[in-house]
Structure 1
Amino acid sequence: MERKKLQLLLEVAILGAISFVLDQIGFKMPQGGSVTLSMLPIVIMAFRWGIMGGMLTGFVSGVLQLLMGGFVLNPIQAALDYFVAYTLVGVAGVTLAWLLSSKAKGNKGSMVTAIVIGTVIGGFLRYLIHFIGGIVFFASYAPEGQPVWLYSLLYNASYMIPAIILAAIVTSLLFTTAPRLLERK
């Protein structure tokens, strides 16, 4: 197997497992969801290997979360909440070219902007999937008289927005203080 491909697969496995572990640490919400750094390893891989590296890492993380005690109502809900939601975090890599260009120029401000925008995009896609799942599968949790869409929007925002902000801050600190981590040798 080609050395770069082996390195990618090893990093996907290791960072996917770290994402799973980080998902176990954090503030758990009463009805599911939690504020954690689980997106951090996925975003790191998206900025090291691009969208596919990030998406593979997200998929591994989602599979591990599902297998190790995920909440399942039916196969479609499980696929959305675990496979699709975490895989889409890897789309953060959409700003990789911008990040690498900023790194080459030594422009840390532009690096941070690329990281934050990429992380917000990946995090928003995960949030969108959880929002849709909340409307379709968890409508019974909505308080009496409150529209289900509003309940899902607010409930998922309560943990997703802080998680996105945390991932963006830590990733920005990591790559601006140690930009060599973006290099694949």
Structure 2
Amino acid sequence: MEQNRKTLFLVEVAVFTAIALLLDYAANILSLKIWPQGGSISIAMVPIFLMAYRWGLKGGLLTGFLLGFLQIVLGQAWIIHPVQGALDYVVAYTVVGLAGVFSSSIKKAQADSKKTLWIFYMVLGVLLGSVLRFIAHYIGGIVFFASSAPEGTPVALFSFLYNGTYMLPNAIISAIAVVLVFGASPRLIAGQRHSMNHS
């Protein structure tokens, strides 16, 4: 049973990472180049949140890490320095998976049929993951994209506004998408909780 769970976990990580990669690729094509130094309106974080809520921290962190790593390997990343690349992709997407700290709270609220509560925890998780990702991009913007700031604009303010203009919509869209997905198919969490209790 334990071996089956490990296999299921690895398969889901691979599948959800692939979905996230495709969503990110599509967003980059459709982004209209509003953000010249990288950034787009995308639901690529949604598969990371789904894995974080299904499997907890290990699911979220591993899926996020693989997404960031594969973006670099497959040439979907905007990189001007190795440290910036690691910060803007590997670190930024890995920390999204920290939303998994709310996994057990969500499962408990769902098992107790407290819909408002599990939605609250899901949105809180999306907010946590999005803010942490924003911080990674914000630091990268200050350190590596200072020359991009318009003359007279403080670098810190430029990085805040630049990264905020796509991260805020991403957070809102991701929160709505995650709640809708789990609302439409509660077993996405309940089924996982059940199998965990019987392994």
Q: Which residue of 1 aligns with 2:125?
A: 118
Instruction: Please report the RMSD computed on the Cα atoms of aligned residues, expressed in angstroms.
Output: 1.2
Partners of 2:176 and 2:168 lie apart in 1 by 12
Pairwise CA distance, 1:5 = 1.0
Gaps (5+ residues) in structure 1?
none
1:12–1:45 Cα contact (<8 Å) kept = yes
- Matches of residues 117-136 of structure 1 in structure 2 within 5 Å? 117-136=124-143
Could you tell me which amino acid in structure 2 is paired with residue 67 of structure 1?
V
Could you tell me which amino acid in structure 1 is paired with residue 90 of structure 2?
F
Pairwise CA distance, 1:126 = 0.5
Structure-2-length-normalised TM-score: 0.90
Partners of 2:146 and 2:14 lie apart in 1 by 35
- Matches of residues 166-181 of structure 1 in structure 2 within 5 Å? 166-181=173-188
Deviations 1:108-159 (A, max 9, x none): 1111101000011011100100000000001111010000000000110000
Which of the residues 81, 86, 90 maps onto 2:88?
Answer: 81
Structure-1-length-normalised TM-score: 0.96
Could you tell me which amino acid in structure 2 is paired with residue 15 of structure 1?
F
Q: Which residue of 1 aligns with 2:34?
A: 29
- Matches of residues 33-48 of structure 1 in structure 2 within 5 Å? 33-48=39-54
Which of the residues 52, 64, 67 maps onto 2:70?
Answer: 64
Pairwise CA distance, 1:99 = 0.6
Q: Which residue of 2 aligns with 1:105?
A: 112
1:17–1:64 Cα contact (<8 Å) kept = no
Partners of 1:29 and 1:74 lie apart in 2 by 22
Could you tell me which amino acid in structure 2 is paired with residue 95 of structure 1?
F
Partners of 2:34 and 2:13 lie apart in 1 by 28
Asked if residue 11 in structure 1 is aligned to residue 18 in structure 2, the reply is no
| Identity fraction in percent | 46
Secondary structure at the counterpart of residue 35 of structure 1: coil
Off by >4 Å, runs of 4+ in structure 1: none
Partners of 1:147 and 1:114 lie apart in 2 by 36
